[in-house]
Amino acid sequence: MKRGTAAAAHLTRRRIDPAEVVNSVKDERAGGVVLFLGTVRSVNEGHSVERLEYQAYRAMAEKRIREIEAEVRERWPVKKVKILHREGSLPVGEISVAVAVSSEHREEAFEACRFAIGTVKHSLPVWKREKIVGGGELWVEGEPIREARTRATPSRESARKQVA
């Protein structure tokens, strides 16, 4: 693990405050901070959604989040990274997941954040059940960002090393 990067992984039942998430990754050495927020949407696959219920295999999910953060730190020269995921019942519009990354340059911050949220959606043991307006419910599978978009491109530092 790089110096100055403490583990900041969480599952939470509390509301996610975007300002707190951004502040948790601010670093004077960083020229860029990227924040991704996933929210509960009102319509999915033609169904009007009332709320989502998130259930997690907590111990495994916490471990997996720490692994994702470690992988982000290994692949990009980030200063700080924070991943938060909600548990419980969330109404439409509520923030369900947050990923924030700070880095010296914006390019690495964007790439690292995209990778982190794609990996969270693809591999975190968190399940969601949609509560449909008017009754009914559906278990929903996560939809990862296309694989080609989550592949890391070399950071400036590693690209320089490859050229040298």
Residue 26 lies in a domain: yes
Take residue 102 and report the two structure tokens written for it.
């700070």
pLDDT above 90 as % of the chain: 73
What is the reported pTM? 0.80
d(CA 37, CA 82): 12
In a domain, 157, yes or no: yes
Tokens encoding 35: 């924040």
Give the model confidence (pLDDT) of 29-88 as tens digits: 999 999 999 999 999 888 999 999 999 999 999 999 999 999 999 999 999 999 999 999
Range of the structural domain that residue 140 is part of: 9-163
Note whether residue 155 is domain-resident. yes
Overall domain count for the chain: 1
pLDDT at 11 over 70: yes
Note whether residue 3 is domain-resident: no
Assigned domain for 1 exists: no
Give me the CATH number covering residue 82: 3.90.1170.40
